[in-house]
């Protein structure tokens, strides 16, 4: 009888396929390792220069405003006052709106793809969802600006205001281009990532556990909720984390639909701004000091996304790298 | 172990317990089945909802984009609509050629670096390799706008700090290629690592046992075996890079001329979409759909083509 291993499969980086370069060395291998180390070193150098150049570009702004760039409440290019708190909150707000829709719909779709659909339809639908990931972000921006914005202005936002009696956060006059629209466009953009990565996580929950739970009388939903979702929890949380990083840093699509207004948005229907979209739209006509201030925004954005990303990668490490999705 | 424990239990505990369970189960079964059907149905609804945007976008693209595809669109350069003829907006040949040149140069330097670095990740287990892997993973997830700033600082205005002096070459296709290329490298690296690790160890070990050099094994055994995966990796990275707008937003100069020389200001399809979509002219805004349709067409052809090609190559091998 074959022995069933209780240990989980090794992660990619732990597979014992590789050797220590110093062992088994053949004469002439040093050139091979030289090329490999040289090219990899070049990439490492590029990354180092990349970080240095972003940080260096921001130094004049930190000298000018100090840490008040992070907690200051007024961002005005005209008066050279650089307080990014409204912009940071706009970034977090759009990301939160996107996640609010994307988590239930994304995880629900992943469950449906793995455990509800028959095999052939499963492959078709999951590759359709992945096609969404291939659409360039500027096309999402175009669609958001020319199709969704008028629809939001005339139908969605008046409708929401009507239902909620224009209470917070649905009170301002509908503008179309708004925080809500930016969040909705982001939702569409991060959805394929959540679906694809959660599907991978759900698919590796052992089928024996699924059947075992069914056999003791649990209904399908109970199995999904009590067995499958807990089993796939790490992968799903990782998927959500990576999607969060993507939403925080999305630039062009958001820049097209958010209206770039560096104030605290009083309502979901008002214009706002995010870190990435502010950098994108204000860079062109900026004075050197303003460029530095935008560099400071870039440093904040880089730190934020790098940390979130790093956590996400830890969590989804076990599954194979998905070049098409991430 | 003692008899006392058993004496306290009623005569047929199993039967009694089963009856109790059945009583409770019968009471809750209908409710549980109803909830289950509802929730599983909701999962299906979620999947349908997830597909709505895809079809909505494809519908808008086809409905509003296809009518722009004519000879002028592909051969003329853009012009601002005049009051007399608001529809005389020329074409976008400059953007198509610009994308071709910029992304071509980017691929030219990103593909070799990405694949060799991927080979390094797959072959080495050193500390440097695992550091590099983490770096590549984080780089893949960083917002691409940051690479725009990088390219602007390094290529457009040049670098002059700490005694190192690199002259800038101004707004140019090269600056765009640099940003796009740096964006592609980590994606190619990670994906080709996955592909190269898929080569069975015994094949490489057989090469080593024959006394072949590692460079020969890599060139003659590992890379050819992993070729389908490598091609998919490269093409997926490329299809993603073609659509990137943020890194080239203010480094390529957005020229309105057809320009083949990458040291001059150039145009690019994603940038042209961005500019047209946010322009005050109605005709230009509408034309953005035409460019977007073409861009999505190119991206999807590369994307699907790479998957199909890799699958075909895999089958031919058998």
CB contact under 8 A, A13 and B211: no
E strand or H helix at A172 = none
How close, in Å, is residue B213 to chain A by CA atoms?
6
Q: Which pair of structure tokens corresponds to residue B89?
A: 């907006």
- Partner B contacted by A313 (CB < 8 A): yes
pLDDT at A28 over 70: no
Residues whose CB is less than 8 angstroms from the CB of residue B102 and which lie 6 or more positions away in sequence, other chains included: B173, B176, B177, B180, B248, B252, B262, B266, B268
Which of these ranges, A63-67, A117-121, A313-317, B39-43, has the smallest mean pLDDT? A313-317
- Cβ atoms within 10 Å, residue A46: 18
pLDDT at B16 over 50: yes
- What average pLDDT is seen over chain B? 84
The per-residue pLDDT for A10 is 46
Query: Among candidates B163, B180, B167, which has minimal Cα distance to B248?
Result: B180
Residue A305 and residue B141 in contact, taking contact as beta carbons nearer than 8 Å: yes
The residue whose two tokens read 């050193």 is B126
Query: Among candidates A261, A313, A308, which has minimal Cα distance to A282?
Result: A261
Q: Which pair of structure tokens corresponds to residue A126?
A: 């999951």
C-alpha A181, offset from chain centre: 17
The per-residue pLDDT for B11 is 67
- Partner B contacted by A235 (CB < 8 A): no
Residue A101 and residue A187 in contact, taking contact as beta carbons nearer than 8 Å: yes
Beta bridge partners of B150: none
CB contact under 8 A, A37 and B141: no
- In terms of CA atoms, which chain A residue is nearest residue B57? A143
Indicate the angle between helix axes A119-134 and B13-65, nearest 10 degrees: 50
- Delimit the domains of chain B by residue range: 74-79+86-317
Angle at the Cα of A264 (from A262 to A269), degrees rounded to 5?
95
Average pLDDT over residues A246-268: 87
Buried b (16+ CB within 10 A) or exposed e, A166-177: eeebbebebbbb
d(CA B213, CA B219): 10
Q: Which pair of structure tokens corresponds to residue B118?
A: 């991927």
Which residues of chain A are within 8 Å of residue B245 when distances are taken between CB atoms? 136-138, 251-252
Q: How confident is the model at residue A42 (pLDDT cuts 50, 70, 90)?
A: very high
Chain A and chain B share a number of CB contacts under 8 A equal to 298
- Partner B contacted by A147 (CB < 8 A): yes
CB contact under 8 A, A57 and B237: no
pLDDT at A75 over 80: yes
- Is A4 in a helix, a strand, or coil? coil
- Is A132 in a helix, a strand, or coil? helix
Which residues of chain A are within 8 Å of residue B190 when distances are taken between CB atoms? 321, 323
- Cα distances (Å, whole numbers) of residue B51 to A100, A105, A106, A186, B279: 17, 10, 11, 15, 30
Which residues of chain B are within 8 Å of residue A21 when distances are taken between CB atoms? 123-124, 126
pLDDT at B159 over 80: no
- Cβ atoms within 10 Å, residue A213: 18
Which residues of chain B are within 8 Å of residue A100 when distances are taken between CB atoms? none
d(CA A146, CA A143): 5
pLDDT at B64 over 90: no
The residue whose two tokens read 């490598």 is B230
CB contact under 8 A, B145 and A251: yes
The per-residue pLDDT for B170 is 79
Which residues of chain A are within 8 Å of residue B141 when distances are taken between CB atoms? 242, 245-246, 249, 305-306, 309, 312-313, 326
Residue A174 and residue A153 in contact, taking contact as beta carbons nearer than 8 Å: yes
The per-residue pLDDT for B156 is 85
pLDDT at A24 over 90: no
CB contact under 8 A, A309 and B138: yes
Question: Environment class of residue A121 by beta-carbon count within 10 Å: exposed (0-12), middle (13-18) or buried (19+)?
Answer: exposed
Average pLDDT over residues A230-254: 91
DSSP A10: P
- Is A255 in a helix, a strand, or coil? helix
- Residue ranges of domains in chain A, CATH in brackets: 31-316 (1.10.3720.10)
E strands, A46-151, in order: 75-76, 81-82
Radius of gyration of chain A from its Cα atoms, rounded to whole angstroms? 24
pLDDT at A171 over 90: no
More confident: B106 or B260: B106
Which residues of chain B are within 8 Å of residue A137 when distances are taken between CB atoms? 243-246
Q: What is the CATH number of domain B74-79+86-317?
A: 1.10.3720.10
- In terms of CA atoms, which chain A residue is nearest residue B38? A221
Annotate chain B with DSSP letters as a single string.
--THHHHTS-S-HHHHHHHHHHHHHHHHHHHHHHHHHHHHHHHHHHHHHHHHHHHHHHHHHHHHHGGG-SHHHHHSPB-PPPSS-TT--B--HHHHHHHHHHHHHHHHHHHHHHHHHHHHHHHB-SHHHHHHHHHHHHHHHS-THHHHHHHIIIIISEEEETTEEEE---S-HHHHHHHHHHHHHHHHHHHHHHHHHTS-HHHHHHHHHTT--HHHHIIIIIHHHTHHHHHHHHHHHHHHHHT--GGGTTTSB--SS----TTS-B--HHHHHHHHHTSS-HHHHHHHHHHHHHHHHHHHHHHHHHHHHHHHHHHHH-
Average pLDDT over residues A173-177: 79
Indicate the angle between helix axes A29-65 and A288-316, nearest 10 degrees: 130
Most confident of A244-248, A270-274, B90-94, B197-201: A244-248
Q: Percent of chain A at pLDDT above 70?
A: 88
Query: Among candidates B22, B25, B49, B33, which has minimal Cα distance to A221?
Result: B33
Task: Give the nearest partner residue to B215 out of A12, A18, A31, using CB atoms.
Answer: A31
- What pTM, to 2 d.p., does this model score? 0.86
Q: Which pair of structure tokens corresponds to residue A73?
A: 């409440």
- Partner B contacted by A140 (CB < 8 A): yes
Q: Which pair of structure tokens corresponds to residue B261?
A: 């020389």
ipTM above 0.90, yes or no: no
Residue B268 and residue B246 in contact, taking contact as beta carbons nearer than 8 Å: no
Query: Among candidates B138, B133, B309, B141, which has minimal Cα distance to B235?
Result: B309
pLDDT at A16 over 80: no
Residues whose CB is less than 8 angstroms from the CB of residue B224 and which lie 6 or more positions away in sequence, other chains included: none
- What average pLDDT is seen over chain A? 83
The per-residue pLDDT for B160 is 67
Task: Give the nearest partner residue to A249 out of B119, B142, B300, using CB atoms.
Answer: B142
pLDDT at A21 over 60: no
How close, in Å, is residue B158 to chain A by CA atoms?
11
Interface of A with B in 150-209 (CB under 8 A): 188, 191, 195
Question: Environment class of residue B285 by beta-carbon count within 10 Å: exposed (0-12), middle (13-18) or buried (19+)?
Answer: middle
Q: Which pair of structure tokens corresponds to residue B21?
A: 């369970």
């Amino acid at each position: 009888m074959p022995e069933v291993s209780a240990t989980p499969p090794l992660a990619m980086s732990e597979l014992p396929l590789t050797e220590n370069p110093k062992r088994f060395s053949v004469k002439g291998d040093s050139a091979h390792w030289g090329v490999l180390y040289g090219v990899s070193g070049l990439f490492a150098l590029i990354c180092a220069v990349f970080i240095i150049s972003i940080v260096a570009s921001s130094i004049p702004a930190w000298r000018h405003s100090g840490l008040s760039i992070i907690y200051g409440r007024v961002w005005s290019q005209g008066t050279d006052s650089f307080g990014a708190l409204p912009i940071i909150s706009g970034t977090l707000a759009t990301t939160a709106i996107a996640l609010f829709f994307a988590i239930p719909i994304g995880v629900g779709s992943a469950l449906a793809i793995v455990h509800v659909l028959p095999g052939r339809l499963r492959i078709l639908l999951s590759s359709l969802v992945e096609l969404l990931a291939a659409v360039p972000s500027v096309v999402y921006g175009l669609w958001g600006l020319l199709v969704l914005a008028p629809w939001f202005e005339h139908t969605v936002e008046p409708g929401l205001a009507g239902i909620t009696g224009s209470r917070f956060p649905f009170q301002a006059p509908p503008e179309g281009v708004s925080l809500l629209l930016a969040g909705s466009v982001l939702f569409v953009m991060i959805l394929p990532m959540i679906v694809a990565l959660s599907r991978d996580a759900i698919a590796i929950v052992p089928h024996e556990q699924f059947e075992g739970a069914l056999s003791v009388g649990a209904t399908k939903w109970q199995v999904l909720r009590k067995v499958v979702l807990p089993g796939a929890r790490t992968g799903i949380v990782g998927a959500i984390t990576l999607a969060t990083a993507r939403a925080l840093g999305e630039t062009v699509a958001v820049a097209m639909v958010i209206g770039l207004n560096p104030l605290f948005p009083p309502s979901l229907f008002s214009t706002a701004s995010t870190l990435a979209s502010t950098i994108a739209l204000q860079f062109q006509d900026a004075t050197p000091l303003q460029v530095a201030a935008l560099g400071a925004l870039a440093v904040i954005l880089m730190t934020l996304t790098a940390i979130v990303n790093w956590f996400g990668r830890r969590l989804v490490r076990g599954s194979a790298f998905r070049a098409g999705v991430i | 172990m003692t008899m006392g424990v058993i004496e306290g239990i009623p005569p047929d505990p199993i039967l009694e317990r089963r009856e109790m369970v059945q009583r409770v189960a019968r009471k809750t079964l209908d409710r549980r089945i109803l909830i289950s059907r509802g929730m599983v149905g909701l999962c299906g609804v979620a999947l349908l909802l997830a597909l709505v945007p895809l079809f909505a976008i494809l519908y808008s693209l086809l409905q509003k984009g296809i009518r722009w595809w004519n000879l002028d669109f592909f051969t003329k350069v853009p012009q601002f609509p005049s009051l007399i003829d608001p529809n005389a907006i020329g074409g976008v040949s400059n953007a198509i050629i610009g994308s071709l040149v910029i992304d071509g140069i980017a691929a030219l330097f990103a593909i070799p670096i990405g694949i060799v670095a991927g080979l390094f990740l797959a072959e080495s287990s050193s500390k440097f390799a695992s550091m590099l892997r983490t770096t590549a993973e984080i780089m893949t997830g960083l917002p691409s706008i940051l690479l725009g700033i990088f390219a602007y600082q390094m290529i457009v205005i040049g670098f002059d700090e700490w005694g190192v002096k690199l002259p800038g070459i101004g707004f140019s296709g090269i600056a765009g290629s640099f940003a796009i290329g740096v964006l592609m490298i980590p994606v190619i690296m990670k994906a080709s690592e996955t592909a190269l690790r898929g080569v069975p160890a015994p094949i490489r070990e057989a090469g080593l046992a024959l006394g072949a050099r590692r460079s020969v094994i890599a060139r003659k055994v590992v890379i050819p075996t992993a070729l389908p995966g490598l091609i998919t990796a490269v093409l997926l990275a490329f299809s993603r890079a073609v659509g990137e707008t943020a890194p080239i937003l203010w480094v390529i100069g957005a020229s309105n001329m057809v320009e083949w020389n990458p040291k001059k200001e150039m145009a690019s399809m994603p940038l042209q979409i961005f500019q047209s979509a946010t322009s005050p002219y109605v005709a230009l805004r509408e034309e953005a759909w035409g460019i977007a349709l073409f861009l999505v067409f190119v991206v999807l052809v590369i994307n699907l083509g790479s998957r199909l090609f890799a699958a075909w190559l895999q089958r031919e091998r058998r």
